[in-house]
Amino acid sequence: MSNVFTRKIYTAGVLLVGLSVGFLSACQPPVTAPTPTSGASVTPAASAHILSQLTLESGRDILVQIPDDRVATLHQLIPDLKVKSLAVSAHLYQLQLPAGRSLLNTLQLLNERPGISFAESNPSFKIPDFKVQAVDTFRPRDPRYGMQWNMRSAKIDQAWTLVKSNPDILVAVIDSGVDPNHEDLVDHLEPLEDIYNELKGSDIYRNPFTSEVINFGGRDGNGHGTHIAGIIAASMDNNLGVAGVAGGGVRILPIKATDYAGSTDAATLTAAFQRAIDRGAKVINISIGGPVSKCSRALESVIQVALQRNITIVSATGNESARDKGVVSPITVPAAYNGVIAVGAHTEKDRVASYSNGGTQIDLVAPGGAGRSNVLQEGQQVWSTWPSYNTYEFFQKRVTSTLYAATSGTSMACPHVAGVVALMLAREPNLTPVQIRSRLIATADDMDTPGFDENTGYGKLNAYRALQWTQHDAQDLL
């Protein structure tokens, strides 16, 4: 186990100029940042790379890291500039350029400016496409629990004999929001933090067929976030719906960071992490990602601050693979970042899910369910909570039910691990993110190659073993 912390890949060493924080970055230095003496200009290839990561909405944005006492100099440098604070703890700001100002030339100007650690564009991110559809154990009285194969597969039903939860543990879910009045969640929800509205404005859906206009502000307009929250914390043993991994009493802090279609950007995610830090979260679940080409140093910086504050971060590896066709896609960010627990998906049949991304950064797999076209071969999907009203997914004719739904994806695998982390902290509240990751991978059950492999990491989540394993009896379980 001496090499268990070496699987994440780092491509650049970064010292944050003028700041006291230093860490190894998984992001390449900005492609628009020639050295001050080089006189180099932005190349066509570099320009094309940057522009390909942007949307029309974020194409005027720049993310910078700069000491707070130097922010005023930005206005002197660029008149009519709009500046928003994203993450105070990491000295990160979002700049909105005035009309007529070149994004690429401004990036180069800022990266050559003394005192600015980095300046980068604001890449877009999105919720991954998801598919619809001998030891003592504890069986809750929730009516749909019989369909929750995932709880038995990950030995969560056995873990419940040791601990069911702790109301002092706050788990932040950075996602599309939550149904704030859901019958199976309402008892465990903190007030929703609508970061999307703060930075982007109202989340308005206009139905192109009926001209209906719906404001999803302050709630989940997609369904994805409500499903994630339910896997972690749907109330247990309440004679309603399903049971969450930590449904005995963990608190959920829903942070809305996407629009109804699941779209977002690095600036919004950075601000969402800062809000989780400010609100005192102990665990952060983020089932959102983008390709490594969209690596954001701003997002990575605030994640490092969260880890330094002893907040455990769990992220999905992504759903872009088609293993039945021999295609395995790389792990997305932020799952690929240093210190983040990267979670892939397995099926009811104990096989790596066909859609689950893999690579050197994966830590373990958890129940994600069958792909839409592989239900017969891969088994059931994952049941959880769903908004009690129609969402964008309903209007797209993908999820037509309310209150509860079955879906699949690494997005669904990720909150199983986040929920188990909450159970671990319920028993041992002083565990660090490094200790938690160590226990999870040391107690995972091998699925493919013994030891580490790029498909399953160190194996399949075993909640019961993870809760049993302490420094006093570790040798009994290895």
Q: Which residues pair with 384 in a beta bridge?
A: 405
Contacts of residue 201, defined as CB under 8 A and 6 or more positions apart, other chains included, come to none
Please state, for a pLDDT cut of 70, what percent of the chain lies above it.
Answer: 83
Would the pLDDT of 133 be above 80?
no
Contacts of residue 334, defined as CB under 8 A and 6 or more positions apart, other chains included, come to 269, 286, 289, 299, 300, 303, 313, 315, 340
| Cα–Cα distance for residue pair 456/451, rounded to 1 Å | 10
Contacts of residue 330, defined as CB under 8 A and 6 or more positions apart, other chains included, come to 291, 292, 318, 336, 357, 359
Neighbours of 474 (CB within 10 A): 15
The one-character DSSP state at 53 is: T
Give the tokens for residue 78.
């660029």
- The string of pLDDT tens digits covering residues 383-392 is 999 999 999 9
| Cα–Cα distance for residue pair 287/317, rounded to 1 Å | 8
Would the pLDDT of 43 be above 70?
no
pLDDT band at residue 52, thresholds of 50, 70 and 90? low
| Cα–Cα distance for residue pair 118/48, rounded to 1 Å | 20
Would the pLDDT of 341 be above 50?
yes
- The string of pLDDT tens digits covering residues 392-435 is 999 999 999 999 999 999 999 999 999 999 999 999 999 999 99
Closest CA to 312 of 289, 351, 341: 341
Q: Are 160 and 442 in contact (CB under 8 A)?
A: no
Would the pLDDT of 1 be above 60?
no
| Cα–Cα distance for residue pair 184/186, rounded to 1 Å | 6
- The string of pLDDT tens digits covering residues 263-322 is 999 999 999 999 999 999 999 999 999 999 989 999 999 999 999 999 999 999 999 999
- What's the pLDDT score for residue 241? 95
Peptide bond preceding 36 in cis form (omega within 30 of 0): no
The one-character DSSP state at 235 is: P
How would you classify the pairing of strands 263-265 and 124-126? Answer: antiparallel
| Cα–Cα distance for residue pair 207/391, rounded to 1 Å | 11
Instruction: Give the three-state DSSP class for 260.
Output: coil
